[in-house]
Amino acid sequence: MTVRTVVFDAYGTLYDVQSVGRLATELCGDKGELITQLWRLKQLEYTWLRGLMQTYEDFSVVTRDSLDFVLERVGVRSSTTIRDALLTKYLKLDLYPETLQALKALADYRLAILSNGSPAMLDSLVEASGVRSLFSQVISVDPVKTYKPDPRCYDLAAKSLGAVADEVLFVSSNGFDVAGAKRFGFRVAWVERGGGAPPPSSSAIGPTELFGLLRGGAERLGCGADARVASLTDLPRVLTDLAR
């Protein structure tokens, strides 16, 4: 079937989760980079753990709890100033530089977001970045009380949009999300945000390099992407190829 709808993941795909790094360094000195990377890793881990344990809390709670864990583990006292500033930044993450250009190039398609973010967090993101009008829907997983890659999340998007699964192109930079969406039945484009980096020459690597090794590759889960792109601006080509 012809793709009529393009659904985007938010965190790490449209919005740069690494954009908290500068503030983290300003507030926490040379531990800022470590905090940035561990926070995102622990945040993802908590979504999976809460999904498996069936103890759902919305993404604002997961984001707060994962930050508290990391600040304690790296030895940074979680003052109100540090904690609130970092959590506020997560509500106003930077768009990736090509995001606006890419979204405008897809104006002939129905565009939507499907995200782990809570409704309030997503409202803040799209308002702060000025992109709300470009999307027909901004969908949070909150109604199904679990997190991607649970199939119920992708089913929520399909039902909310009234879309047949293979008429949807799902776009994500997160390998687990790519696998989950493909397993559900969406067509999937993987944005290789961490792609192309050479293997390390030794174990002496920093937090950002470690994050890239863990999160930047295709997952071995038996459900690969239909297309791999380096940038969101490659999506029109992908859609043309899928229509053939």
Give catalytic residue positions.
9
Return the closest-CA partner of residue 187 out of 235, 133, 127.
Answer: 235
Give the separation between CA 7 and CA 169, rounded to whole angstroms.
6
Question: If 0-12 CB within 10 Å is exposed, 13-18 middle and 19+ buried, where does residue 147 land?
Answer: buried
SS3 content of the chain, % helix, strand, coil (to 5): 55, 15, 30
Q: Kindly state the tokens that stand for 207.
A: 């937090």
CA distances, 123 to each of 3, 18, 92, 118, 173 (Å): 26, 20, 10, 9, 21
Task: State how far Cα 203 lies from the chain centre.
Answer: 27
List of E strands, 48-123? 94-95, 110-115
Q: Would you call 5 helix, strand, or coil by DSSP? A: strand
Question: If 0-12 CB within 10 Å is exposed, 13-18 middle and 19+ buried, where does residue 125 land?
Answer: buried
